[in-house]
Amino acid sequence: MCRSLRASRPTLALFIFALIIFSSSLPSLAAAAQSTPITLSLDATEAPRRIFHAKLNIPASPGPLTLLYPKWLPGNHRPTGPIANLLGLHMIAAGKTLTWLRDDVNMYAFHCEVPAGANSVEATFDYVTPSRGPGRLILRQLTSS
């Protein structure tokens, strides 16, 4: 028997969308992003426990950087981005741990300062999915033939 993870299309799309959009801050990202892609690593070894470990390498220039988590989701008529499912955010640039602050008004925005000499920011975090309701993942046993 092999175990397979099958996510509903909206859930999986939302998670991947969240990871990519989370890294889309414009000012310091714009110039660097034209030549260097954002890389995403996803560790789903704890998927049966509904925990996903993500690592984003985001091109950035020294100076202020704002990372945004998606607030408005397609098909929703209110800001319902599952920000509460984001855990353990850590950011590193040029070998230094970055101190980040949540925006005073927009809880979906995270501010940090990219140090001189850095050309990217590595953001690591965990994403947990609810066991019931929207956003849940469906686990199924598949038998191999």
Judge whether 104 lies within some domain. yes
The tens digit of pLDDT for each residue in 20-65 reads 555 454 444 555 546 788 899 999 999 888 899 999 999 999 999 9
User: CATH number of the domain that 85 lies in?
Assistant: 2.60.40.3650
Decide the pairing of beta strands 86-93 and 120-128: antiparallel
Residue 62 lies in a domain: yes
142 within a domain of the structure (yes/no): no
- pTM comes to 0.67
Domain membership of residue 114 as a residue range = 26-130
In a domain, 107, yes or no: yes
Length of the chain: 145
Mean pLDDT estimate for the chain = 77
The domain tally of the chain equals: 1
Beta strands 39-43 and 51-59: pairing type?
A: antiparallel
Query: Does 64 reside within a domain?
Result: yes
Residue 12 forms part of a structural domain:
no
Residue 48 in any domain: the answer is yes
pLDDT at site 143: 42
**CB under 8 Å to 120, separation ≥6 — which residues?**
32, 36, 57, 58, 59, 60, 93
